[in-house]
Amino acid sequence: MSSASAIYLVEGVLLVAIQEDISDTDILDLQEALSERVVDEAARAVVMDISALEIVDTFVGRILAQLASVSKLLDAQTYVVGMRPAVAMTLVELGMDLPESKTALSLTHALKDLRGESRG
Amino acid sequence: MSSASAIYLVEGVLLVAIQEDISDTDILDLQEALSERVVDEAARAVVMDISALEIVDTFVGRILAQLASVSKLLDAQTYVVGMRPAVAMTLVELGMDLPESKTALSLTHALKDLRGESRG
């Protein structure tokens, strides 16, 4: 896997920043690496930062949805943070509304939600 | 039924460990035996440990989903524990995300969830 998609563990939460120029192969590797880390670290959540993504196509949209479904099966909640308005619009137009993911404005909001705190 | 899939009762919860080499016939027998035990023991939950499964096909995936649906109709919550990352990815790729099952990392996590305790 390229270093472009390093996975960090913070408070039992796996953080992944998806890079703008992530290739289809990289994102498949990421899917595999991430699901293994969820089990190895007994992670309670996965936070995917997609703020670097300016556009999204059906392939990336489907992988994002699959990542969330796989994490759910492995008992981890997925948060997608940093989604750009254009990406949100494209996902809706493509009929991909990421049903298994929670979305949060930022990592801070996602971590607050995980701690059960209200948005402040 | 082969002894490979013995069913244990702990605190009103039925535990089943699915063996790696479980045959299609065995898993059908298990489905029948399990649903009978759920009623006989008035079990409140079924915990299926699938950590021995390294791969899963559509048949096994469908039976896992059916076991959960049957248990739900019999008023028992199903937990799937010990799922390997590769199995989770295959299930998602096959479009089988086990909607009626809760997944948990381990038996300990499933029992904690049943007792209403948060993950510690």
Q: In Å, how far are A76, A109, B80 from A43, measured between CA atoms?
A: 6, 18, 17
Nearest CA to A38 out of A79, A3, A7, A81 is that of A7
What are the structural domains, with CATH classification, of chain A?
3-114 (3.30.750.24)
Q: Note the pLDDT tens digit of each residue in B10-35.
A: 889 999 998 888 888 888 899 899 99
In this complex, how many residue pairs, one in chain A and one in chain B, have their CB atoms less than 8 Å apart?
Answer: 44
Residues of B with CB under 8 A from a CB of A: 80, 83-86, 88-89, 91-93, 97-98, 103-105, 109, 119
Which residue in the set B86, B92, B119 is minimally distant from A69, CB to CB?
B92
Q: Note the pLDDT tens digit of each residue in A16-74.
A: 998 888 888 888 899 999 999 999 999 999 999 999 999 888 888 888 899 999 999 99
Which residue in the set A39, A44, A69 is minimally distant from B97, CB to CB?
A69
Nearest CA to B41 out of B66, B10, B70 is that of B10
